[in-house]
Amino acid sequence: MTKDAPIPQAPRVAALVVAAGRGLRAGGDIPKQYQQLKGEAVLTRTLKALVSHPLIRDLVVVHHPDDSALLSNALAPLDQSVITTVGGATRDASVRAGLSAVPGGVDYVLIHDAARPLLGPEVIDGVIAALATHPGAAPGLPVVDALWQGDSTVQAIRARDGLYRAQTPQGFHLAAIRAAHAAHPGGAADDVEVALAHGLDIAITPGDESNLKLTQAQDFARVERLLESQSMIDIRTGNGFDVHRFCPGDHIWLCGVKIPHTRGLQGHSDADVGLHTVTDAIYGALAEGDIGTHFPPSDPQWKGAESHIFLTHAVDLASEKGFAISNADLTFLCERPKIGPHAVAMRARLAELLRIDPTRVSVKATTTEQLGFTGREEGIAAMATVTLVKS
């Protein structure tokens, strides 16, 4: 490691987005970073990719003085405050302005192109990890195509060994890159060139083919196709398991169906072990805890509550997050009562609560061959699997 400060145990990371360019090659009436990409400004998507990363605490955007209104619109959807500063006539000058605006206490700064909206968390992870042992790090993709040198005809073949296509964010220890830019005469292609001129050791980290830069008009169509492919499939699967012991009574509730029985089921609510299990499966698919998280048994308002309340809440939560329920598979483990005579009614009620067709709902049962607490008829257990699909 050269020209580097000691590595902090928990580094504070800032992202600096260079958005002061005019982007004329991309066409359009406004700079490319403010053009719409699937209903959102390119810059907005870029900033969301950065602020969603858990290690990035501060965000600085360098903009052109004529773009204040466009910038304001692009920042509006963000939940995080953003430091803004006006850039210079060149990229070097804009980066220097951004570095000056980075707040005190920051250890690492990630300098990113505004026109790279498909930045993934893995690329950011790689850069930050490498900064623990290097003063600079940047993602790159190995050159795999043959390289030609020429004009209208090929004049020579060039070796591609050891060559990489540079990407951003390019990360640095803040003090080191500030010193590098202060000493550089200007005209560098990127910040890695500035850092190398200052003698900094730059690690190459894994890049991503999706992390492309919008340069030409046709690049927008390519990025839109990538966005469509990324959002096309989002499938979640959750499992649920629940147990209720028998108690004195003359009926039980299973999947919202009242079934006569020689005993009841004990529970804080109506003890519908079927609905509880399916509810927990939905919460599991959403990574939203379980019934106890949303309806604590210590809360007296849920004493004797009908369990369809819990399942409806889980279904509504899935819908709010953009998911539709694809199917549910529920299995009871019990000796008695016999589930078969009631399975059709249970499927119908469960499908109604899940808001799906009964053909997507399975309700079945098995005994445990008189083994365990269910075999001794001390209670009923149930397990369920539910699949959610992004709608």
Condensed to tens digits (0 to 9), the pLDDT of residues 237-272 reads 999 999 999 999 999 999 999 999 999 999 989 999
Q: Which domains does the chain have, with CATH numbers?
A: 13-232 (3.90.550.10), 235-390 (3.30.1330.50)
Q: Cβ-count burial of 169 within 10 angstroms (0-12 exposed, 13-18 middle, 19+ buried)? A: buried
Condensed to tens digits (0 to 9), the pLDDT of residues 172-203 reads 999 999 999 999 999 999 999 999 999 999 99
Whether residue 4 is predicted with pLDDT greater than 70 in this model: the reply is: no
* Residue 2: predicted pLDDT: 41
Rounded CA-CA distance 256/273 in Å is: 10
Mean pLDDT of 363-383: 96
Task: Name the residue among 111, 132, 113, 133 with its Cα closest to residue 56.
Answer: 111
* Residue 340: predicted pLDDT: 95
Cis preceding-peptide flag for 11 (omega within 30 of 0)? no
The three-class DSSP label of residue 51 is helix
Per the CB < 8 A criterion, the answer to whether 281 and 288 are in contact is: no
* Residue 390: predicted pLDDT: 83
DSSP states of 333-364 as a string?
Answer: E-SSS-SGGGHHHHHHHHHHHHTS-GGGEEEE
Q: Write the CB contacts of 185 (distance below 8 Å, at least 6 apart in sequence).
A: none
Task: Name the residue among 251, 246, 238 with its Cα closest to residue 342.
Answer: 251
Mean pLDDT of 32-46: 95
Condensed to tens digits (0 to 9), the pLDDT of residues 75-116 reads 999 988 999 999 999 999 999 999 999 999 999 999 999 999
Per the CB < 8 A criterion, the answer to whether 212 and 172 are in contact is: no
Whether residue 68 is predicted with pLDDT greater than 60 in this model: the reply is: yes
Condensed to tens digits (0 to 9), the pLDDT of residues 200-217 reads 999 999 999 999 999 999
- State both tokens at 133: 């042992």
Q: How big is the chain, counted in residues?
A: 391
Rounded CA-CA distance 69/193 in Å is: 33
For the question of whether the overall pTM of this predicted structure is more than 0.85, the answer is no
Helices (H) and strands (E) in the chain, counts: 12, 19
Sign of CA dihedral 124, 108, 200, 94: positive
Mean pLDDT of 313-318: 97
Query: pLDDT-derived band of residue 229, with 50, 70 and 90 as boundaries?
Result: confident
- State both tokens at 204: 């190459």
Helix/strand/coil (H, E, C) string of 238-291?
A: EEEEEEEEEEECCEEEECCEEEECCEEECCCCCCCHHHHHHHHHHHHHHCCCCH
Whether residue 352 is predicted with pLDDT greater than 50 in this model: the reply is: yes
| Residue 387 to residues 50, 214, 278, Cα–Cα distance (Å) | 30, 36, 11
Rounded CA-CA distance 91/288 in Å is: 45
Task: Name the residue among 2, 293, 256 with its Cα closest to residue 135.
Answer: 2
Angle at 378 between CA 375 and CA 381, to 5 degrees: 70
Packing angle between helix 343-354 and helix 273-286, nearest 10 degrees? Answer: 40
The three-class DSSP label of residue 152 is coil
Condensed to tens digits (0 to 9), the pLDDT of residues 114-158 reads 999 999 999 999 999 999 999 999 999 999 999 999 999 999 999
